[in-house]
Structure 1
Amino acid sequence: MYDVAIIGAGSMGMAAGYYLAKENQRVVLIDAFDPPHSEGSHHGETRLIRHAYGEGESYVPMAVRAQELWDELDRQVDEQLFYSTGVLNIGNKQSDFVKNVIESAKTYELNLEVLTADEVNQRWEGFQLDDHLMGCFEPDSGVLMSERCIRAYRDLAFDAGAEFKFSEHVQKLEARDDEVTITLSNETIQAKKLIITAGKGTNQVLQHLNEQLPLNPTRKTFSWFQADEELYHRDYFPGWAYDVDGKTFYGFPSVENQGVKLGRHDGGHALEDVMNLASFGHYDDDLVDVTSQVERIFKERMSHDEGKVCTYTNTPDGHFIIDELPDYMNIYVACGFSGHGFKFSSVVGEILMQLTLYGDTEFNIKPFRLGRFNDGRGLKQRE
């Protein structure tokens, strides 16, 4: 009998597995693939971490704690997991995104520089922002090496005693108040408690309990562009987020000489089949959106080098789900991270550990409770 089983060993699940194993819990992590892998939301090598959060002030304490945990993880492994490039938040003065960044920095006394477009263009010669734009620079933020982070948590979880069941699909799931039973292809696992962090596959797992959450898997893309290393290398150029005219983009300097990386945060194409992602280039906007953005904000013209596809698992309001599954006293779900969750995976892992062991957490997760949706229980109405 395990203390805790975790279904979905990607960003959040692997972190939770480590923090639980570190607390001497007997933990088993189950995944349909072999993490890190390209079937979830953690591949593509890099992710931004921002602290003055344009998506809302409620995220800031979690972002600050996440950074502490990433720095701690970075010190425990031989590979570099975090590059302190700084992050520039770009928008116009009327942008709610920019206003939230500035207000959250004031509220939590974060290090933030508010710059005009001209000041941005002078500091980083690679930019050519239009005059009506402004930038909010977070010098303490930067770039996480996402797949390395997953591997680091995996290695440390294993060293702490966690067990893995990878390349395994859940065939059956049964739950009672004091026990869950998970049937895999060749064995049955029993645990006192269950955490479901299965990303786009969450509802596939929950269908075994006749439950569904309001999740909308969406096909997304990101691209790399060949760039002048003297302008766009991580030593000289920041990460950035750009919110203008109803469109939101994000990007990275050239990390380890791989070129500038860019993606669009909003938009995308709804997925009918979460296991079938159309390859890059299938839709015209895969390349058009990011190419137009490169031409709009960068001084240098860049040629497209490579594009990849990934998945966002969106909630109706774009905010996370972290909660106990209604009607179950020993099942927790963390999902619907809506394309901005990876930076928080370290602290979400810690939160899931706290919820599982103590039934509560030091962080305010009220905005992420399921009760905010539909019928008050947090679940879609079942047919």
Structure 2
Amino acid sequence: MTAYDVAVIGLGAMGSAALFHLARRGRRVVGIEQFEPGHDRGSSHGESRAIRLGYFEHPSYVPLARRAYENWRELERLAGEKVLTVTGVLEIGKPGSVIVEGSLAASRLHGLEHEVLDTGEIAKRYSQFTLPRDYSAVWQPDGGFLQPELANALHLKLARAAGAEMLVNTPVLGVEPTSGGVRVVLEGCVIEAANVVIAAGPWIAGLVPELKPHLVLSRQVLCWFAPREPDAVRLGKLPVFIIDGEDDIAYGFPDFSGSGFKCASHHGSGIWTRADEARQDAGPADEKRMRDFLEAYLPAAAGPLKNMRTCIYTKTPDEDFVIDLSPEDPRIVIASPCSGHGYKFASVIGEVLADLAIKGETRHDISRFAIGRLRGAVA
């Protein structure tokens, strides 16, 4: 039996960042991961994740996004590697689009740099798009993408350098509050910690049963295409974008590593009842869905398929996060699920989780993410 200040369960996006912030503050901390870090069974793989300041989901996310940018740049400074690339973000939609109107409202409320573009102006700047005449867009120059596998690995590397311990390929069987702390039950082993952070992604319901009725595990497919016109989608020519189209909402990234043009639908393509059911099972129907979208809106990218990967959105009914102290015991911090739009915030959520584990509170406004709001709501 070993005593720690904090045990962090799950070392994906949020857990790796929490481990880093806790270790950096001098806490005796252990991170526990059921697989190898960097695995492709959850939500933190796939080469790139979008980041933006103007937030169509809700304006209250903007202060967290600002802090996330600061923390990503600090991670780069400490690690000596680049994880955030600014390309600008183009959010495109039909009249009345929630994406366009929401991003515009958030940008205006928080005084963010942005432009509203009609299809004529979009065509002048980015002629590779083919859009209906009545579409418009919000352009955010600060947007871009993160490299999730690299960023997670750097958080873990720096955490270890600051004294964090790690247990990998080690499933957690239970989390049990005691009079003296919190017991983390492993196979053949028990760990004692003063506080525990549960950042288990799509597996979180197994450790926080209160969440189970409120979560949906959405199957998401990422596609990479060899573009018909490589120059049209290379880094420097194409920004990160999201299009609220007639039949789907999809997003894409410039080809920055030679792996191809990456795109995906924001809508799911199936539901898993348990995270362990997830498989790398993308097939022809998934390819057709994205190819049809590209033929309609970005035909320059619609060349031969190079690769497909599945990942998981762990969604709440209102699609906001859950970041809170457990109502069962305040020594347990519940982290995520992030409903498919959380990765960009990992650097600041790690900071928030360290605050909650150490002090039971944080200076960041996370009132929107309280677990109590889910009572009575069913996914």
Fold conserved (TM > 0.5)?
yes
* Residue 144 in structure 1 maps to residue 146 in structure 2: yes
Matches within 5 A, 1:237-276: 237-245=238-246, 247-276=248-277
Identity of aligned residues (%): 33
Residue 346 of structure 1 pairs with residue 347 of structure 2 = yes
In the alignment, which residue of structure 1 is the partner of 2:177? 175
Deviates more, 1:246-255 or 1:325-334: 246-255
Q: Which amino acid aligns with 1:41?
A: S
Task: Spell out, residue by residue over 1:183-222, the C-alpha distance to the aligned partner (whole angstroms, 9 max, x if none).
Answer: 2123211000011000111112235xx8746211121111
**Matches of 2:87 and 2:325, distance apart in 1:** 37
Q: Does the CA-based 8 Å contact 1:54-1:100 persist in structure 2?
A: yes
SS of the residue corresponding to residue 208 of structure 2 reads: helix
Q: Paired residue for 1:192?
A: 194
1:220 pairs with 2:205: no
Deviation at 1:104, TM superposition (A): 0.8
- Counterpart in the other structure of 1:20: 22
Residues 367-378 of structure 1: pairs in structure 2 closer than 5 A: 367-375=368-376
Structure 2 residue identity aligned to 1:148: L
2-side partners of 1:352 and 1:271: how far apart? 27
- 2:360 equivalent in structure 1: 359
Deviates most, 165-174 or 2-11: 165-174
Whether the 8 Å contact between 1:174 and 1:180 is mirrored in structure 2 is: yes
Change (3 A) 1:161 1:213: farther
In structure 2, C-alpha distance between the alignment counterparts of 1:257 and 1:229, rounded to whole Å: 10
Letter paired with 1:61: P
> Distance in 1 between the 2:165 and 2:68 partners?
25
- Tell whether the 8 Å contact from 2:56 to 2:105 is kept in structure 1 after alignment: no
Do the aligned residues in 2 keep the contact of 1:197 with 1:333 (CA within 8 Å)? yes
Q: Distance in 2 between matches of 1:101 and 1:246?
A: 20
Counterpart check, 1:317 vs 2:318 = yes
Runs of 4+ displaced beyond 3 Å: 210-213, 278-282
TM-superposed deviation, 1:281: 3.5
Does 2:17 correspond to 1:31? no
Are the aligned partners of 2:17 and 2:347 in contact in 1 as well (CA < 8 Å)? yes
Q: Displacement, 1:225?
A: 0.9
Q: 1:53 is paired with a residue of what secondary structure?
A: coil
Report the residue type matching 1:293 in the other structure: F
TM-score if structure 2 supplies the norm length?
0.94
Distance, in Å, in 1 between the alignment partners of 2:314 and 2:208 is: 15
Contact 1:177 1:329 in 2 (8 A): no
1:282-338 Cα deviation digits (max 9, x unpaired): 5x5412221111111114242222111111111111111011111212001112211
Which residue of the partner structure matches residue 292 of structure 1? 292
For the residue of structure 2 that corresponds to 1:171, the secondary structure is strand
Q: CA RMSD in A?
A: 1.8
Q: Is the aligned partner of 1:85 residue 2:87?
A: yes
2-structure distance, mates of 1:191, 1:139: 44
Q: In structure 1, how many angstroms separate the alpha carbons of the residues matched to 2:115 and 2:305? A: 31
Q: Which amino acid counterpart does residue 298 of structure 1 have in structure 2?
A: L
Matched, 1:202 2:204: yes
Structure-2 separation of matches of 1:6 and 1:73: 19
Q: Residue 371 of structure 2 aligns to which amino acid in structure 1? A: L
* Residues 1:297 and 1:150: Cα distance change in structure 2 (over 3 Å): same
Distance change in 2, residues 1:275/1:163 (3 Å): same
Contact 1:40 1:310 in 2 (8 A): yes
Other-structure match for 1:66: 68
Q: What letter is aligned with 1:2?
A: Y
C-alpha distance in 2, partners of 1:273/1:66? 30
- 2:13 maps to 11
Instruction: Say which SS state the counterpart of residue 349 (structure 2) adopts.
Output: helix
Query: Which residue of 131, 153, 163 maps to 1:129?
Result: 131
Q: Deviation string for 1:265-289 (max 9, x for gaps)?
A: 113211023212243335x541222
SS in 2 for 1:343: helix
Equivalent position SS for 1:258: coil
Deviates more, 1:264-273 or 1:347-356: 264-273
State the SS of the aligned residue for 1:344. Answer: helix
CA distance in 2, matches of 1:172, 1:141: 40
C-alpha spacing 1:30/1:83, structure 2 compared with 1 (3 Å):
same
SS where residue 340 of structure 1 aligns? coil
For structure 2, list consecutive stretches of 5 or more residues without a partner in the other structure. Answer: none
Label 1:367 to 1:13 Cα distance change in 2 as closer, same or farther (>3 A).
same
Q: 2:100 maps to which residue?
A: 98
Say which SS state the counterpart of residue 192 (structure 1) adopts. strand
Q: 1:76 aligns with which of 68, 75, 78?
A: 78
Shift of 1:43: 0.5
Structure 2 counterpart SS, 1:275: helix
Is the Cα contact below 8 Å between 1:90 and 1:133 reproduced in 2? Answer: yes
**CA offset at residue 180 of structure 1?**
0.7
SS in 2 for 1:327: coil
